[in-house]
Amino acid sequence: MSLRGVIESRIRRPPARRSRAKVLAAKKITHRAEARGLYRIFNTAEYRFYRSQTAPPVEKDTPFATNATLPHQPTETFADGTWYLSVSYYNGIYDSGFLPVGPLGEPYWRLDLAGGVETTSPPAGPLRWDLQALAGGVVRVVGLVCQSGDLRAEEWALAYTTDGSTPPADSPDATQAIAAEDLAYLDYELPAVASGTPVQVRLQTRRNDGSWVYSEGSEVKSITPDLFGPSAPLGMEG
């Protein structure tokens, strides 16, 4: 072959390295859907179920059961007592986190068992509540609760102290009827105290099932009312 023929053949046939680069570029995958179809990098989607007897599950817990679809009835048994159940959905790559399965959208559902039979759960506690200092050393307690049906609370239950101690749970010093169903509002004024007295309040709800059943997970809030207003402005010097 002449020198010219050798040169023309090299021009028509680029080095193999360039050819491989073009092939790799042509096969470049830019979408996860393509990767899923070609290489099956996703795991199988499933629902994951969690349970605990001490407190609502946390997302780092290990699921006690899984299933591809809902509804699902786990084969595991449950002892008497209080159980908290949660569920999440795993799509093969990402986990949804706990789904809102509770009656008020909580990320858990409470199950109470006695003698192997489900019993009624406590009423829902306050959605939100707060303390307000009024004139004359009066403290106002305001709150909201939302629940309907047979499990709803019948009364607000307030426990409070003025000596710096923590008010106990399930032992109210004052109660007020919850008249409205679904969304109900509390507006209650505690007896006046001296200026600077620390007032601590625990707010719960309760329902009478033959004996009083109190909402769980109550918190204590505190406030110190002041009988004196702000200082008067200083007089102008002439």
Peptide bond just before 15 cis, omega within 30 deg: no
- Could you read off the pLDDT tens digit of each residue along the chain, which spans 238 residues? 554 554 455 555 555 555 554 544 445 545 555 555 555 556 789 999 999 999 999 999 999 999 999 999 999 999 999 999 999 999 999 999 999 998 778 899 889 898 998 888 899 899 999 999 998 999 999 999 988 888 899 999 999 999 999 999 999 999 999 987 788 999 999 999 999 999 999 999 999 999 999 998 899 999 999 866 555 566 655 5
Distance CA 79, CA 132 (A): 44
Predicted pLDDT at 147: 84
- Residue-level pLDDT at 102: 83
Cβ-contact 129, 151 below 8 angstroms = no
Q: Which domains does the chain have, with CATH numbers?
A: 46-119 (no CATH), 128-223 (2.60.40)
Is the Cβ–Cβ distance between 144 and 186 less than 8 Å? Answer: yes
Q: What is the CA radius of gyration of the chain?
A: 33
Q: Using the structure block, give the residue that is written with the tokens 């489900």.
A: 118
Encoded amino acid at 131, one letter: L
Handedness of CA 124, 128, 134, 137 (dihedral sign): positive
Q: How much is the pLDDT for 3?
A: 47
Among 134, 149, 157, which residue's Cα sits nearest to residue 205?
Answer: 157
